[in-house]
Amino acid sequence: MTDVEQPPEGWSRGHPILSAIVQSALEATDATNGWLLALDDESLRIVAASGDHAQGVTGSVVAAGAGSAGFVAQSGQPLATMARDDDPLVEAGVSALLGRRPVSLLSVPCTTDDGIIGVLELTDKSGGQRFSFEDVELATMLADIAAVTLAHVAGVVDVVPSPAQLAHQLTNLASADPSRYRAVAPAVEALVTPD
């Protein structure tokens, strides 16, 4: 398999809840582009994307070890960096698929009790700024929500996290940063509102 494959038929639309999570992450962190990748054996498939340069990539596949998302999927550690000419993590994987180098990059794992099942990645914070520690925390919280959704969409787990745990995190966010809570609330609402 090459580092990047084009989307197969039927994968171009994405899942609405996963798309809402990516959009909420963009709004909450002032990122310009974002995508959610699901880990599938030796590859990462883009299952939702949003932003100026992210259109048309949903369904595309990158090698599990390629680029920043591959690094995060293998290490389990978040990554927030500014692009450097000598950094292969920002040139391979999804960045290669987009055909452009991001200015700033934030990538966090989507983790369940069974391990890492995906990666939430954001690029190009507005104004050419670096992603902050608060951005990492917020992206990690959204990645946790995405992990639950990914697990259910893929049929990986039957148990959802405790409502009390999620409510506690949301209450803390609402108190500490109401504007960021307003950005996250639509994704959470989409998750809990019946179809």
Q: What is the pTM of this model?
A: 0.72
pLDDT for the residue 8: 36
Decide if pLDDT at 190 tops 90. no
> In this structure, what are the phi and psi dihedrals at residue 161, rounded to the nearest 5 degrees?
-65, 160
The dotted CATH code for 4-192 is 3.30.450.40
pLDDT for the residue 95: 62
What does the DSSP 8-state code read for residue 43?
A: E
**Tens-place pLDDT, residues 110-167:** 998 888 999 999 988 998 899 999 999 999 999 998 998 888 776 543 344 567 767 7
For residues 55-84, give the mean pLDDT.
Answer: 82
The whole-angstrom separation of Cα 98 and Cα 101 is 8
The whole-angstrom separation of Cα 33 and Cα 47 is 14
**Tens-place pLDDT, residues 90-110:** 666 666 666 677 888 899 999
The whole-angstrom separation of Cα 51 and Cα 122 is 10
Domains of the chain: which residue ranges? 4-192
Residue 192 vs residue 27, higher pLDDT? 27
Residue 50 vs residue 94, higher pLDDT? 50
